[in-house]
Every structure is written in C-alpha cells, then in structure tokens.
Amino acid sequence: MRPAEMAVIHAACFTTPPPWSEAEIAQTLDSAFAFAVSEPSGFLIGRVVAGEAELITLAVDPVARRQGIGARLVAQFLTEAARRGAESAFLEVAADNLPAQRLYAAKGFEHKGKRRDYYRTPNGARVDALVLARAL
C-alpha cells in the first residue's frame, strides 16, 4: 500500500492522535528500522530497534471494521517483528479506545504503564495513553 492510500485510511480513523499526512507516513517508512504490513482496507506501521518492536500505528477503514483485519495485521506485525530480531513488543493506545485495547489484549499485550495526558483531542482535552507490551 502506498503512503497516499495509508494517509486516506489514517484520516478516516483518527482525530486523537491527529491523523498522519502522506509525507509523515513516507518519512516514517524511510527509516531502516520501520516496516508496514497492509491489507486493502488497513495497514500497520511498526519498527524494530535493539531487540524491541514498537507498533507505531494501526488503521482500518471504518467501513471495513469487525472483519478481522486488525487482528490479522497485528499477527503479521508480531511475526515480522520476531523475524527482525525483536524479543518484545510494545505500543501506546488511548485510554478511551476500548475496541483497540480489546484487540491488543486478544493478541497477548498486557498493561505495563500509563502516560498521563499523552494525547490531546481536537477540543483540547487530554487523554492518557496506556502502555501495553508482550514478549515475542
């Protein structure tokens, strides 16, 4: 999937954190450590550095949700991260994003911490980020 297509899906999914532009996605993917996995209606960007994988962002087109796309993308991320030498994986998720939290829990991620007031909504409110992690 090209960065332009990713940006359209990301914009349909996010207000908090703000959606990424095509340029931001392309710049992230230019890193030697970053990689993407995708399906026609969704994508995930991750990276592996020093044995640790980070799930940076996951976006599934709202009209295609609840079809297993997110679960497949997370599974592909975990496989690719392990292939790249990661021994563990982590991510941050908005404390009010319960569907994403359920998805990550189903994939073995556990609550490890909280980043208070990490995200800012469009109206200026603050939302905590939960730090989730799992071994690979």
Rounded to 5 degrees, φ, ψ at 71 are -65, -40
Rounded to 5 degrees, φ, ψ at 90 are -140, 165
Domain 3-135 adopts which CATH fold? Answer: Aminopeptidase (3.40.630)
**Which pLDDT band, with edges at 50, 70 and 90, does 18 fall under?**
confident
Task: Look up the pTM and report it.
Answer: 0.94
* Domains of the chain by residue range: 3-135
pLDDT in tens, 29-42: 999 999 999 999 99
Closest CA to 75 of 92, 98, 58: 58
Name the residue with higher pLDDT: 122 or 79: 79
Catalytic residues: 92, 104
